Structure 1
Amino acid sequence: MDKTYHIDVIFKQIPLLRDFVYHYVAYKELYSRGRGPEGEEKFWTYIVNAHLSQAIINWVTVFEVVSDQSRWNRMDLKLDPKRKTREEFVSDLLTHIQFTEQEWKQYWNEVSEFRDKFVAYGDILFEKPAAYLDIAYKAARFYDRWIREQVNGILIMD
Structure 2
Amino acid sequence: MNDNTTDLEKMTKSKLYKVAGTCAQFVTQLAHHRAMNSFRKNGITIKCPFWITIFNNSIDMAVLNWLHLFGSDSDELHWKKNVCEVDSFRGQLLGHIAMSQEDWENYWNETKGYRDKTVAHIDSVPHVHVPDMSVAIKAADFYYQWIFEVIKRDYPNVSFDYWPVDLNDYLKLKIQAVKELLEKIGFDAALVDTN
Unaligned 5+ segments in structure 1 are: 78-84
Post-superposition shift, 1:57? 0.4
Deviation sequence 1:37-64 (CA, Å, 0-9, x none): xxx5332222111100000000011112
User: How many residues are aligned here?
Assistant: 148
- Alignment-derived partner of residue 38 in structure 2: 32
Higher relative contact order (CA closer than 8 Å, sequence separation 6+): 2
In structure 1, C-alpha distance between the alignment counterparts of 2:104 and 2:112, rounded to whole Å? 12
Post-superposition shift, 1:109? 0.8
- Alignment-derived partner of residue 102 in structure 1: 102
CA RMSD of aligned residues (A): 2.0
- Alignment-derived partner of residue 70 in structure 1: 77
What letter is aligned with 1:114?
Y
Moved over 4 A (4+): none
Q: Which moved more, 1:106-115 or 1:10-19?
A: 10-19
What letter is aligned with 2:79?
W
Q: Which moved more, 1:96-105 or 1:5-14?
A: 5-14
Q: Give the fraction of aligned pairs with identical amino acids, expressed as a percent.
A: 28
- Contact 2:30/2:59 (CA < 8 Å) preserved in 1? yes
- Alignment-derived partner of residue 46 in structure 1: 53
- Contact 1:118/1:126 (CA < 8 Å) preserved in 2? no
- Quickly say closer, same or farther: Cα 1:109–1:126, change in 2 above 3 A: farther
Deviation sequence 1:53-102 (CA, Å, 0-9, x none): 0000000111123223222111132xxxxxxx322211111111110011
What letter is aligned with 2:108?
W
